[in-house]
Structure 1
Amino acid sequence: MIIETKLVHKPAFRAVGIQEMVHFSAEEKPSENAIAKLWDRLNARTCEIADPVGYRGYGLIHQTPETKPGDPFNYIAAVGVHSFGQLPEGMISVEVPASLYAVVTYRGVLDGLGEGFEYFWSNWLPQSEYVYEGMYEFEFYDQRYRNRTDPESEIDLYFPISPKGKQG
């Protein structure tokens, strides 16, 4: 369920993780799809990442305003870091620029996470005074996220936006 939507100015941040091109399929459960498997691979290797920022997991979705629904996209399962050190083999570093975000907080099992994305794209954005300004939108996982099957888990979905008429 959607428990909150708010606007947040988030400063730039750094993350290190594993990237994969994802061909999203609505038939696959989020708890079993390619993204879940990517997180399993990253979670097994987080001890290799230098200078982490506490527990800060980012599911970075690299898109542009030209990306159409159903297009494949790059997804990066990542951990927030203070600085970029030696990168573990097969991992990349990402610096996400500062931005204004619409943040949709979802509570529930991972298989219902699509509800948060659907709410943003179908309800919140069309009724707002904002436009999508994307390069990176992301899922943010902190201590509120317990596991894939816990109905009390919370995930914040960050969507980069700008006021209509002020895109840049």
Structure 2
Amino acid sequence: MSIELVKLESKEAFTVIGIQCPLSPIEAPKVWHSFIQNIHLIENRVQSTVSLGVCDDLNQRYIASVEVDKVDVVPEGMVSLEIPANEYAVFKHKGSIQGINESFQEIGRWLHQNNYKGTHKPPFFELYDERYQGESEESEFTIYMSLVKI
């Protein structure tokens, strides 16, 4: 497993639709399974090969989702969430998804060493695309950590 800072990036506000679960590492894999089975129900997806795992710690939930360009209909059992414009540190996680907790520990150290702190807008989201291969050590995905300079 490895984690590396790719860039600092400003992102405009965007909206996601997905399935939520309590903010728990035990619940997240279950919600992803359900989400993948129902992703076809979501209209107006921005990219067909990209999914987002959004941490909404203020509401103590995790949302397996996709970005949409407009919300006409939220399928039954799903939620929509607008992510406000924010500054992000963008990290690449390489390795099995099992190493994600170690990646977040490394990100925490990087934030502290570089005089940043995370925000609650939401604090982070994971971007999964064609690079993601689950348990494979060759798997890659991107973590967007919202931040402010302290």
Structure 1 length normalisation: TM-score?
0.81
Q: Aligned runs of 1:130-141 on 2, under 5 Å? A: 130-136=116-122, 137-141=124-128
Q: Aligned runs of 1:88-167 on 2, under 5 Å? A: 88-121=75-108, 123-136=109-122, 137-145=124-132, 147-164=133-150
Q: Aligned runs of 1:1-168 on 2, under 5 Å? A: 1-24=2-25, 33-54=26-47, 55-64=49-58, 73-121=60-108, 123-136=109-122, 137-145=124-132, 147-164=133-150
Q: How far apart are residue 135 of structure 1 and its match? A: 2.4
Residue 104 of structure 1 contacts residue 116 of structure 1 at CA under 8 Å; is this kept in 2?
no
Rounded Cα–Cα distance in structure 2 between residues aligned with 1:23 and 1:120: 19
Rounded Cα–Cα distance in structure 1 between residues aligned with 2:85 and 2:66: 17
**1:43-71 CA-partner distances (Å, limit 9, x unpaired):** 0001000011122211110125xxxxxxx
Rounded Cα–Cα distance in structure 2 between residues aligned with 1:48 and 1:23: 25
Residue 23 of structure 2 contacts residue 57 of structure 2 at CA under 8 Å; is this kept in 1?
no
Rounded Cα–Cα distance in structure 2 between residues aligned with 1:63 and 1:103: 19
Rounded Cα–Cα distance in structure 2 between residues aligned with 1:53 and 1:153: 23
Q: What amino acid is aligned across from residue 9 of structure 1 in structure 2?
A: S
* Unmatched segments (≥5 aa) in structure 1: 25-32, 65-71
Residue 17 of structure 2 contacts residue 42 of structure 2 at CA under 8 Å; is this kept in 1?
yes
3-state SS, counterpart of residue 18 of structure 2? strand
Q: What amino acid is aligned across from residue 38 of structure 1 in structure 2?
A: V
Residue 15 of structure 2 contacts residue 69 of structure 2 at CA under 8 Å; is this kept in 1?
yes
State the superposition RMSD in angstroms. 1.6
| Runs of 4+ in structure 1 over 4 Å off | none
Structure richer in helix, relative to its length: 2
Rounded Cα–Cα distance in structure 1 between residues aligned with 2:24 and 2:103: 19
Q: Which moved more, 1:6-15 or 1:44-53?
A: 6-15
Q: How far apart are residue 18 of structure 1 and its match? A: 0.6
Structure 2 length normalisation: TM-score?
0.90
Residue 96 of structure 2 contacts residue 138 of structure 2 at CA under 8 Å; is this kept in 1?
yes
Identity %: 33
3-state SS, counterpart of residue 106 of structure 2? helix
* Unmatched segments (≥5 aa) in structure 2: none
Q: How many residues align?
A: 147
